Structures are given as structure tokens and as C-alpha cells.
Amino acid sequence: MKLQYRVCTAVLALAGCAQQEHAHHGEHAGGPMMHHHGAYTPVARQGYFFTGGEYRAAKDGNVMVGQMFVQYQIPHHRSSPYPIVMIHGGGQSGTNFLGTPDERPGWADYFLRRGYAVYVVDAPARARSAGSVEVLGAPSRRAAQWVSDRFTAPEKKPLYPQATKHTQWPGAAVPGDPVFDQFYASQVEQLDDPGVGERLIRDAGAKLLDRIGPAILLGHSQGGPLVFTIADARPKLAKAVLAIEPNGPPFNEVTYSGGSAFYKDGPPSRPWGITRNRLIYEPGGAQPPQSALEAQADGPDLVRCRLQAEPARQLVNLRTLPMLVLVSEASYHAPYDHCTSKYLKQAGVAHTFARLEQHGIRGNGHMMMLEKNSDEIAAFIERWIRENVR
């Protein structure tokens, strides 16, 4: 068995290289070794379980909806008392963190090597967290060219000023390229109504924290508002929030069109400012906040922000949490994530707003955890955790 453990990669270990001892809800224990560039990380426990979910009536009887698949690895030697929960974005699944489409280790492996227990989820009603069209509504999906234009090759059809700076995708970034095809193969259908999905993961995520205890919440893209809602539901168990290009900007969508007037204000979509569903505001938290459009943008390459109409109410459950809002240089979030930061500040939430290029990390798009310098970004995040989370 020692030989078997030595050849286990992280992916093979998750598939069950370890002996199954004291199994519970898919748990494996007993000494797998995660390999990375000649080094081996002893894994004390690994496995999976489901959290949340409820039975709902369907035509043929009760079915379960809202359950969330959670995959975890816990290292033998933990450097942090708090695990990291990783929540993916729209059209994605937990595979975003398990590796990269050009077969490098992912962020889950990075943080495991650094001594963190890691929990990676598939959001309810997608991937390994099965849903029901009959109960929850129809799904939607994204075409390959849309994914290329928005995620992997924005520089080829620059719809916003920062797009031309994108350099970090590993490969040609278009359909037919092997690396892109691997990435597109990972795309999944999701609920067409994102508000429903947000409510489901708020409940499932709160129950996850009830089960595992205090944790650091990392959410990417659509996962950004999700970590806001989970932290709002369990403020005593959320030890920090890492919002990696959180879905935004506040209140309304933005539509890009290229050229000098590269955007226009889109339809309302986040009535609670940074989320589609209720957050706890004081005073008078029963109603969503009112929005007010700024008179001008903060710069020529930035959008005008919608903030709260004054007097602004406070996000009381988020204001004491260490929080990082991170945006890359060339993502479609680059023109508007500062609006999320300004909104949080207005609502009394102290946080770090970091643009990667201002820290010497250049050329990244929205899917930064999959790009060529993904470890460099993970290292930046890990340094921030060390400096800010107690």
C-alpha cells in the first residue's frame, strides 16, 4: 500500500486511492499522499458528503432538491485552524478548484499543501448536486463561443478597455484548442433563475458551517454573493470572506458594447445591493435598500456605480469580518468591481480591495484560478489570510 500512496495524485486520491477506514458519508482516512512537484502532502482525511436539501412533491412522488455536494481533504499537519470553503461561479462546478484544464494543480491543492483543510462544493441543482426541473425550474447553459469571448479570450473581441491586457490563459483559448476544450467540457447547466440558486446555497452553506464549524469562505464570480449570504446567515462561523470578482456590480447589470462608450446600465438584478436575496441591514432591514447612480465614473475605463441612496443602511453581520475583494487586470469585472468595494464601504463593511496588477500580477482574466500564474494569485490570497485572519 505504501507504493500505492506514493503514486497518488490529488485527483487519484479523491477517487479513492486511500484505504477506507471508519467510513462515514463517503469519508476515506488512513494516509493518502498528495504529490506536487516532487513533494508529498500527507492527507489525514478526505471524502464527501451532502448538506442541506429538502423533500419536495413531484409528479411521481417526493424528490430531494437544494442539497449540496461537498468534497473535502484535511491535511495531517494543519497550519490554520480554519478550513477554506471554495464556492465556484455561474456555469461552473467545484472542478474550477481541483485542477486546471492544462493539468496543473488547482487552488484546492495549493491550500492543502499550505496546511489548510479544503472543502470544495458543487452548488445546488448543478453537477453532483442534482436538481429537478419540475420543482426548481428550467436550466440554462452557455455556448462555447460565449465562454471564449467572456472567460478565455476577451482580448480577441475587446468589449471593455481592459480586455486587451489579457495574456494569461494557457493556450489558444478558442473552441478546438485542447486546453479550451477541456475547460468547456467542465461547463454545466445551472438554474435559469439565479435568485433561486442563491437561496438554495445560502441554506446549504449555512448548514455546512453548522457541520464543520468556523471557516474561511472563498467565492468566485456568482460564488461571491453566495459567500456574502452565507456569512450573513452565520456571522459567528464565517471567519473571513474572500470575494474573488464577485458577481456585480451593485443593483444593476452592466452591458458591454466596445468603443469609447463601452457600457450601458443594464436591468436591475440585485435588489439587495450586492445580492439577489435578503441581507440583514440596520436600520429597517425588512425592505431592500434604494439605489442611487453616481454622477460620474471614477475613471475613463470604469463604470458609474450604483450605491445606496443616503442615508445608507449598514450590513451589520458583515462589518466585523475580515474581507478581501479581489479583481484581476483584464477581466470584465475590472471596470466595475470597485463599485462593489464602494458599496461595502458605504454599508460599514471594512475590507481590502485589491487589483492584482497593483501588486505586480498582470494579464489575468476572470478565470484566474485556471490561468498560467494561478499559484501566484493563490499565494497572494494566502498571504492576505495570514496577515488578516485571526
Catalytic residues: 221
**Residue 277 half-sphere exposure, CB side, CA atoms within 13 Å?**
19
- 329-363 CB burial, b ≥16 within 10 A, e <16: bbbbbbbbbbbbbbbbebbbbebebbbbbeeebeb
3-state secondary structure the chain: CHHHHHHCCHHHHHHCCCCCCCCCCCCEECCCEEEECCEEEEEEEEEEEEEEEEEEEECCEEEEEEEEEEEEEEECCCCCCCCEEEECCCCCCCHHHHECCCCCECHHHHHHHCCCCEEEEECCCECCECCCHHHHCCEECCCHHHHHHHHHCHHHCCCCHHHHHCCCCCCCCCCCCHHHHHHHHCCCCEECCHHHHHHHHHHHHHHHHHHHCCEEEEEECCHHHHHHHHHHHCCCCEEEEEEECCCCCCEEEEEECCCCCCEEEEEEEECCCCCCCCCCEECCCCCCCCEEECCCCCCCCCCCCEEECCCCCEECCCCCCCEEEEECCCCCCCCCHHHHHHHHHHCCCCCEEEEHHHHCCCCCCCCHHHCCCHHHHHHHHHHHHHHHCC
